């Protein structure tokens, strides 16, 4: 059962990765490095808004939906995601972190994105992985097709963003049909109601680590945008980030069935064993994928995405090691999240955000954009080893098992 679910999830996640790469190629070739820079900033700001929506409609949702009234959680989630989708874009605009002409688009995209994300979370929470995979398969194929048709008609940033909005609106409508089908086979919740303030107080601890993790991975974008003020360089750097971070689709796929099991299974020994097996597979699969990426010559990359992206390979080299280790540690993050140990994830993200920032920011004038890249890599490494320290402390897993992961291309479950 687990093996079948895992294989189908991997197939869908692989298709999602291809879709992300396809969207990246389309935006790069049609809009160039400068346009890619604007799009990367837009997507980063959508993610910032999403981080506020995810106080309820985030990873903690899977945990809380089994503890409290579904109706309460869903109602509060829609209210919060709508308020965040309106207020946070305005704040980003006022603080000079978002282009004036794209504020309305950011509001629309952010709200729709939160609602579509909720559908996926609800399907995962109820372990309806067949529906979950089918929904994301549709979402992926439809997005790539629509964006290509829109850019083929008119290659502009606004046209690209319009395509995102149409795609999200249609996917939300289709997702509601999936939820309607699932509801026929779902037992109605009998959990106690929860006050919105109590829910947010509990959820915000979970989401706090996600906020800091976003800063760890995307503060580099804002440093380039605000400090170096080079949109083309931002486009090149963001392209390198997207290519290296593509390996994170591996722990994400592994966590799709693992996280709900951890959050609902009372057998701690079993969940620790599962977590270790999934972590080993994540490490070796991520390492293999990263090595393959590094073997691709930069000339081939430029041929695929455009000659505006000279220097792409050097950024990939800097980011690669940290990206692989973080892909491994992300499974341990899911263990703490599933066990409700949100404070541990929060500690890891806080330490890994503050320490590299203090170490590298003073040297950015001397190192330039490469200093920013080394800072990101250092952040990934610090984050990963702090998570492993707490996992060792919590589960008594030996350091030998953590630092020398057993060879797995598939978890032994």
Residue with the bigger pLDDT between 291 and 73: it is 291
Q: Which of 360, 402, 404, 363 is nearest to 379 (CA)?
A: 360
Mean pLDDT of 207-215: 71
70 pLDDT higher than 50:
yes
Residues 6+ apart with CB under 8 A from 396: none
The SS3 assignment for 193 reads coil
Q: How many CB atoms lie within 10 A of CB 190?
A: 7
| Whole-number percent of the chain with pLDDT over 70 | 89
SS3 content of the chain, % helix, strand, coil (to 5): 85, 0, 15
pLDDT in tens, 237-248: 888 888 898 888
Residue with the bigger pLDDT between 191 and 31: it is 31
- Report d(CA 157, CA 153) in Å as an integer: 12
- Report d(CA 65, CA 127) in Å as an integer: 12
Which range has the worst mean pLDDT, 71-85, 139-153, 178-192, 323-337? Answer: 178-192
C-beta of residue 327 within 8 angstroms of C-beta of residue 282:
yes
- Report d(CA 103, CA 159) in Å as an integer: 15
- Report d(CA 238, CA 228) in Å as an integer: 14
DSSP code, position 307: G
155: exposed, middle or buried (C-beta count within 10 Å: 0-12, 13-18, 19+)? middle
- Name the range with the highest mean pLDDT among 1-5, 245-249, 283-287, 305-309: 283-287
Q: Which residue in the block uniquely carries the two structure tokens 């505006």?
A: 308
The number of angstroms, rounded, from the C-alpha of 405 to the middle of its chain's C-alpha atoms is 24
- Report d(CA 302, CA 310) in Å as an integer: 7
- Report d(CA 76, CA 337) in Å as an integer: 21
Domain boundaries, the chain: 2-403
Mean pLDDT of 178-192: 66
In the structure, what pLDDT confidence band is assigned to residue 207 with cuts at 50, 70 and 90?
low
Per-residue model confidence (pLDDT) at position 189: 53
404: exposed, middle or buried (C-beta count within 10 Å: 0-12, 13-18, 19+)? exposed
- Tell me the Cα Rg of the chain: 21
Per-residue model confidence (pLDDT) at position 196: 61
Mean pLDDT over each residue of the chain, to the nearest integer: 83
Whole-prediction pTM = 0.68
Per-residue model confidence (pLDDT) at position 209: 67
List the structure tokens of 218: 């995307």
- Report d(CA 5, CA 132) in Å as an integer: 11
Residue with the bigger pLDDT between 397 and 16: it is 397
41 pLDDT higher than 70:
yes
- Report d(CA 130, CA 4) in Å as an integer: 10
Q: Which residue in the block uniquely carries the two structure tokens 């800091």?
A: 212
1 pLDDT higher than 50:
no
- Report d(CA 238, CA 213) in Å as an integer: 17
Q: Which residue in the block uniquely carries the two structure tokens 């939300």?
A: 172
- Report d(CA 231, CA 13) in Å as an integer: 30
Q: Which of 254, 252, 213, 191 is nearest to 64 (CA)?
A: 191
208 pLDDT higher than 70:
no
In the structure, what pLDDT confidence band is assigned to residue 230 with cuts at 50, 70 and 90?
confident
In the structure, what pLDDT confidence band is assigned to residue 107 with cuts at 50, 70 and 90?
very high
Residues 6+ apart with CB under 8 A from 405: 279, 280, 283, 284, 328
Which range has the worst mean pLDDT, 32-36, 105-109, 214-218? Answer: 214-218
């Amino acid at each position: 059962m687990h093996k079948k679910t895992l294989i189908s999830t991997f197939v869908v996640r692989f298709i999602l990765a291809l879709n992300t790469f396809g969207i990246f190629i389309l935006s790069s070739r049609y809009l160039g490095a400068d346009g890619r820079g604007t799009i990367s900033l837009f997507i980063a700001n959508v993610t910032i808004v999403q981080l506020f929506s995810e106080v309820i409609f985030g990873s903690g949702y899977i945990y809380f939906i089994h503890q409290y009234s579904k109706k309460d959680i869903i109602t509060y989630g829609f209210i919060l995601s709508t308020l965040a989708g309106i207020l946070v874009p305005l704040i980003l605009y006022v603080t000079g972190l978002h282009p004036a002409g794209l504020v309305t688009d950011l509001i629309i995209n952010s709200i729709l994105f939160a609602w579509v994300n909720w559908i996926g979370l609800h399907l995962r929470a109820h372990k309806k992985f067949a529906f979950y995979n089918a929904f994301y398969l549709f979402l992926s194929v439809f997005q790539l097709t629509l964006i290509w048709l829109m850019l083929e008609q008119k290659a502009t940033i606004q046209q690209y963003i319009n395509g995102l909005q149409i795609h999200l609106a249609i996917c939300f409508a289709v997702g509601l049909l999936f939820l309607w089908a699932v509801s026929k086979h779902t037992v109605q919740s009998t959990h106690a109601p929860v006050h919105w303030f109590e829910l947010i107080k509990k959820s915000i601890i979970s989401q706090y680590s996600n906020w800091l993790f976003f800063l760890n991975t995307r503060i580099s974008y804002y440093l380039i945008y605000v400090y170096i003020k080079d949109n083309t360089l931002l486009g090149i750097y963001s392209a390198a980030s997207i290519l290296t971070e593509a390996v994170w689709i591996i722990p994400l796929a592994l966590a799709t069935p693992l996280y709900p099991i951890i959050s609902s299974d009372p057998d701690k020994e079993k969940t620790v064993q599962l977590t270790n097996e999934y972590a080993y597979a994540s490490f070796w699969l991520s390492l293999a994928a990263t090595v393959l990426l590094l073997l691709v010559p930069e000339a081939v990359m430029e041929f695929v995405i455009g000659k505006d992206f000279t220097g792409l390979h050097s950024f990939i080299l800097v980011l690669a090691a940290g990206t692989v280790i973080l892909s491994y540690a992300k499974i341990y993050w899911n263990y703490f999240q599933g066990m409700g140990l949100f404070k541990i994830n929060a500690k890891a993200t806080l330490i890994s955000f503050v320490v590299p920032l203090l170490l590298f920011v003073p040297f950015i004038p001397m190192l330039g954009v490469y200093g920013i890249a080394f800072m990101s890599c250092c952040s990934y490494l610090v984050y990963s080893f702090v998570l492993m320290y707490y996992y060792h402390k919590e589960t008594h897993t030996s350091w030998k098992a953590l630092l020398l992961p057993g060879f797995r291309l598939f978890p032994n479950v």
